[in-house]
Chains A and B, each alone.
Chain A
Amino acid sequence: MAHHHVPSLEDTKTTLDGLGGKVFAVSAAVGVIGLVVSIGLGLAEGDDLRHFGYSYLVNFAFFLAIALGALFFLPIQYVTKASWIIVVRRLVEVMAASLPVLALLAVPVVVLAGRIYGWAAPEAGSDPLLAHKVAFLSPRWFTIRWAIYFGLWTWLSFTFWRRSLAQDATGDLRHTHKLENFSGFALLVYALSVSLAGMDLLMSVDYIWFSTIFGVYFWAGGLVSFFAVLTLVTMGLQKTGRLTHIVSPEHFHDYGKLMFAFTFFWAYIAFSQYMLYWYANIPEETGWYLLRSGQGWGKVGMVVLFAAFLLPFAGLISRYAKRNRKMLAFWAAWIVVAQWINLYWVVMPEYSHDFVFSPMDVTLFFGIGGTWLAAITRLAMGRSLVPMKDPRLDDSLRFENA
């Protein structure tokens, strides 16, 4: 095959420049206004912020899962010595490095635990099913665990972030070596902490219910949203004339493959959990699904089945869809919404057995999402959007799907 002109970093803009300040200001404003309005809406409900707490949990879990998806994707690139992705790796690093900001955003979940989590409610103490694990599901240990999770995640994400930036300056290959060695270990720490955190955050809302795969379910859903957000962010930057030429349809094709593959993987995990509990039909296990299949929530469950699995699966299967910019953007945005609905369906039935939807759910999405976007913009400002001196950058620029 004839070699095309190999794009170089000179062909395009690789910094945010003036755009950074604008995006930061707007998203921070959206974030703050969103949060303030949400608190107002929450207080207006007059339920001691109970509804607010659940709504907050949905949106917090959504953005946390995306950042954790980024934190997974980084070490995977290093252990596999992948090169195609290098040209956009900085975007992944930025998303992962936003985890300390998400630690701040986790504070309301911990503070409002008594309104969200059954186990933290004052009247729960008398339940013998809880007494057995009260040492684990207690406000104190819950707080300590979240401190540990975020401590670990911050450490992991900043190790990648710092070394990658340092390599920008010097091009020192030792950073690549160090991170390749670090990544295997990072994945181990990641798997244990994220699985347990998923259970803490979402499974323990119903403290009776349990599922060994739940941590994987949380992680897989987040990974799908992460790939979708990465696609949208890359496209957004290209719209403003950044990263053009160097991120080619070849890279977007791979984004599409990853979205497709992990949509399927997420559905496989969801099916494994659902089918096994449905089949064995043990009350303590099916209760969780029973609640989510009746009174309005059942319809949401069907929406999740179609929106988060069947439709994007069919939509992304063809090569054409993955290489067509508009279609890929459509499905990426679709997946973001679908995964959000999935989390809504996981959390909200615990708040109300009947279907509910309030403006707060949307304002909190913008509140937390705006804050998060402000954080990643701030991190990216004044830095190159491409790891300029990565030894595999050249391969990434030349990348073509075979």
Chain B
Amino acid sequence: MSPAAHDPLNNTVDDPTRPNALILGDNDFTSLTVKVSDIVLERKTPRAWYVAFTVTAGLTGVLFLMIGYLFIKGVGVWGLNNPVSWGWAIVNFVFWVGIGHAGTLISAILFLLRQKWRTSINRFAEAMTIFAVICAGIFPAIHVGRIWVVYWLFPLPNYQAMWPNFRSPLLWDVFAVGTYATVSLLFWYTGMVPDLATLRDRARGRMQQIIYGILAVGWRGSHRHWHRYEKAYLILAGLATPLVLSVHSVVSFDFATAQIPGWHTTIFPPYFVAGAVFSGFAMVGTLLIPARQWFGLKEFITLHHLENMNKIILATGSMVGFAYATEFFIAWYSGNPNESFAFVNRAFGPYSWAYWIMVSCNVITPQLFWIKKVRTTVPVMWAMYIFVNIGMWFERFVITVTSLHRDFLPSSWGYYDPTVVDILTFVGSFGLFFTLVLLFIRFLPMVAMAEVKTVMPIADAHSGERRAVGDYHGDIPAASPEGGGA
């Protein structure tokens, strides 16, 4: 406790008599606006941004080259074989959709749970959600083989009365992910309108004024605007909350409705949701830590925020571990030899390397977050996020491939290896993701200024006096300017 008490940027001290400050430093409304909006409007774009953008745009080019190649040649360019007819495409799809879950959890569920600390990170997480869903959407679209009829995925009225199979979970995916993308986008944009108006008002270039002006849809900050904004926000939060559960539940149905051992198990829906939140938070952290460092946002995205995220990672990681254990137990308990074979084969068969990477990264390493020192040391937690990202990709790989490669007929067992095209497509999807993130950082406010202002002490009419909980309680009593320290 002693070194932390002296560090002005450490607000992770546990003191039940006084909540930690959410915003540090000597900030008021103006300084917050300046610090966040200047990144977009005033500051010169760092050279590193251009370097990074060149790299990621190049990788995005690789993605589209690979997709083009796939379209010309067909899915034979992937490593798919018989029996492994689902390979990296579905793995990558589930991986990216999962990452998208942190955004809605932060913006919707944490909002309903009155977790005021979310205000500093929700914009970033929501943006990341949308980019991840874009990356995710690519894979099912390109994996269909006959790309020229991909529009059949949608129930379009047509004179032949040809409809998609409504009983197929793959079709449910189209609706689930489509709804999710729509609501996430609406939520993100609605929340950003007041901030876009701030950018419009502060912009000095004519072009910026026009573009941000259009995006701000005539926001004037009147009482009526705020009233409707708050209503819309609450309604969107309510709508998005079941979506946090539904999207990844439907994704899990892709597997769980089948009769394949290792896929068909009832814990899949909540277990997939927990895994998605787990991976999403890890990805948010992966991006936030460099962003707060490079753009000087440590006073707004504080150690307290990161520690809270790490706690959520610990909780969801443990849920995932709990699901692994339950699956193993029931595989044995069921007395079904195929079921127990599938799990023993995962852990000790030809893909055991992948299984143990998954277990090490998802179950074992996150347990280090029990230690406060690990939860509050930035480089260490960043390394943990990377582990989780790796582990969660491998989880989807293990689920997809190990259950398929040794099916019911031993004579048709096989081994799946990705091709260069598989690998480059996946790497290229990271290129697309990071390109979008870089554009977001450059052109949009990274921190939700209007929302953060509501948790700042001066937002309280009784500034300096304790305020009721249930309302924003990011107050540092005025008497202790050292900020949350003991």
Report which A residues bind B (CB closer than 8 A). 1, 3, 79-81, 83-84, 129, 132-133, 136, 173, 176-177, 180, 184, 187-188, 191-192, 195, 210-216, 250, 257, 264, 268-269, 272-273, 275-277, 279-280, 282, 284, 391-392, 394-396, 398-402
Residues of B within 8 A of A391 (CB): 16-17
Contact assessment for B469 and A395 in the assembled complex, using a CB-CB cutoff below 8 Å: yes
Residues in A whose Cβ lies below 8 Å from that of B332: 133
Q: For A272, give its contact among B14, B249, B326, B466 (CB under 8 Å).
A: B249
Q: Are A280 and B257 touching (Cβ within 8 A)? A: yes
Q: Quick one: which of B14, B242, B326 contacts A212, CB cutoff 8 A?
A: B326
How far, in angstroms, from A1 to B335 measured CA to CA in the complex?
62
Q: Is the CB of A268 within 8 A of B245?
A: yes
Partner-contacting stretch, out of B150-158, B263-271, B383-391, B413-421: B263-271
Question: Whole-angstrom distance from the CB of B45 to the nearest CB of chain A?
Answer: 38
Contacts of A1 in B (CB 8 A): 471
Q: How far is the CA of A395 from the CA of B16 in the complex (A)?
A: 11
- The distance from the CB of B403 to the nearest CB of chain A, in whole angstroms, is 14
Does chain A have a CB within 8 A of B443? Answer: no
CB of B258 closer than 8 Å to a CB of A: yes
Q: Which single residue of chain A is at the shortest CB-CB distance from B335?
A: A132
Do B270 and A402 have beta carbons less than 8 Å apart? Answer: no
Q: Report chain B residues within 8 Å CB of A215.
A: 326
From B17, B242, B259, contact of A264 by CB (8 A): B242
Cβ contacts A to B, 22 pairs, < 8 Å: A3-B462, A81-B16, A83-B469, A84-B470, A129-B335, A132-B335, A133-B333, A133-B335, A173-B17, A177-B14, A212-B266, A212-B267, A213-B267, A268-B269, A276-B253, A392-B16, A394-B466, A396-B469, A398-B468, A398-B469, A402-B114, A402-B472
List the B side residues contacting A79 at CB < 8 Å: 311
Once A84-B469, A284-B336, A402-B471 are accepted as A-B contacts, the answer to whether A212 and B253 lie under 8 Å apart by CB is no
Q: B318 on the interface (CB 8 Å rule)?
A: yes
Instruction: Give Cα A211–Cα B325 distance, bound, in whole angstroms.
Output: 13
Name the distance in Å between B140's Cβ and chain A's nearest Cβ. Answer: 20
**Interchain CB contact under 8 A, B469 and A212:** no
Closest to B260 in A: A280
Q: Mark B236-254, 1 if CB is under 8 A from A, else 0.
A: 0000001001000100010
Instruction: Tell yes or no: B226 within 8 A of A by CB.
Output: no
Complex partner residue of A280 from B14, B258, B322, B468, CB under 8 angstroms: B258
B370 within 8 A of A: yes
Q: How far is the CA of A192 from the CA of B324 in the complex (A)?
A: 12
Task: Give the residue among B14, B322, B334 with the most A Cβ atoms within 10 A.
Answer: B334
Complex CA–CA separation, A78 to B131 (angstroms): 35
Q: Give A280 to B330 CA distance when docked, in angstroms.
A: 17
Interface contact B370-A213, CB-CB below 8 Å:
no
Asked if residues A280 and B470 are in contact (CB atoms below 8 Å), the reply is no
Give the number of residue pairs across the A-B interface with Cβ within 8 Å.
111
**Which residues of chain B have a CB within 8 Å of any CB of chain A?**
14, 16-17, 19, 112-114, 242, 245, 249, 253, 256-259, 264-270, 311, 314-315, 318-319, 322-323, 325-327, 330, 332-336, 370, 462, 466, 468-473
In the bound assembly, the distance between CA atoms of A400 and B336 in angstroms comes to 53
The answer to whether A276 and B256 touch across the interface, beta carbons within 8 angstroms, is: yes
Residues of chain A within 8 A (CB-CB) of B14 are 177, 180
The residues of B that contact A173 with a CB separation of less than 8 Å are 16-17
- Chain B residues with CB under 8 A of A273: 266
* Distance of A312 Cα from B249 Cα, bound (Å): 23
Shortest CB distance A60–B (Å): 23
> Given known contacts A210-B334, A212-B267, A275-B253, what 15 new A-B pairs fall within 8 Å (CB)?
A1-B471, A80-B113, A84-B469, A84-B470, A133-B333, A192-B325, A210-B333, A211-B330, A212-B326, A272-B267, A276-B253, A276-B266, A279-B257, A280-B259, A402-B470
Cross-chain contact of B16 among A3, A133, A176, A401 (Cβ < 8 A): A176
Q: Which 3 A-B pairs have the closest CB atoms?
A: A212-B267, A398-B468, A213-B266
Partner among A132, A177, A250, A279 whose Cβ is within 8 Å of the Cβ of B470: A250
Residues of chain B within 8 A of A210, CB atoms compared: 330, 333-334
- Give Cα distance in the complex from A187 to B473, angstroms: 26
Q: How far is it, in angstroms, between the C-alpha of A284 and the C-alpha of B333 when the chains are bound? A: 13
Given A129-B335, A195-B322, A395 and B311 contact (CB-CB distance below 8 Å): no
Chain B residues near A268: list those with CB within 8 A: 245, 249, 269-270
Distance (whole angstroms) from the CB of B172 to the closest CB of chain A: 11
Which residue in chain B gives the minimum CB-CB distance to A192? Answer: B322
A276 contact from B257, B322, B323, Cβ within 8 A: B257
Are B264's CB and A280's CB within 8 A?
yes
Q: Bound state CA distance, A83 and B469, in angstroms?
A: 7
A272 near B269 (CB under 8 angstroms)?
yes
Contact B468 A395, beta carbon cutoff 8 Å = yes
Given the known A-B contacts A133-B335, A176-B16, A215-B326, are A269 and B470 also in contact in the complex, defined by CB atoms under 8 Å?
Answer: no
Residues of chain A contacted by B330 (CB below 8 angstroms): 210-212
Kindly provide the distance from the CB of A167 to the nearest chain B CB, expressed in whole angstroms.
10
Q: Given the known A-B contacts A192-B322, A398-B468, are A136 and B333 also in contact in the complex, defined by CB atoms under 8 Å?
A: yes
Set of chain A residues within 8 Å of B249, measured between Cβ atoms: 268, 272
Residues of A with C-beta under 8 A to B472: 402
**Is the Cβ of B270 less than 8 Å from the Cβ of A213?**
yes
A402 to B14, CA, bound (A): 25
Which residues in A have their C-beta under 8 angstroms from that of B323? 212
Q: Smallest CB–CB gap between B20 and chain A, Å?
A: 9
Residue of A nearest to B326 (CB): A212
Docked Cα-Cα span, A216 to B245, in Å, equals: 15
Known: A173-B16, A195-B322, A399-B470. A282 touches B259 (CB 8 A): yes
Q: Is the CB of B322 within 8 A of A272?
A: no
The answer for the CA separation of A133 and B340 in the assembled complex, in Å, is: 13
Instruction: Report A-chain residues with C-beta under 8 Å of the C-beta of B335.
Output: 129, 132-133
Q: How far is the CA of A191 from the CA of B318 in the complex (A)?
A: 10
Chain B residues within 8 Å of A81, by CB: 16, 19
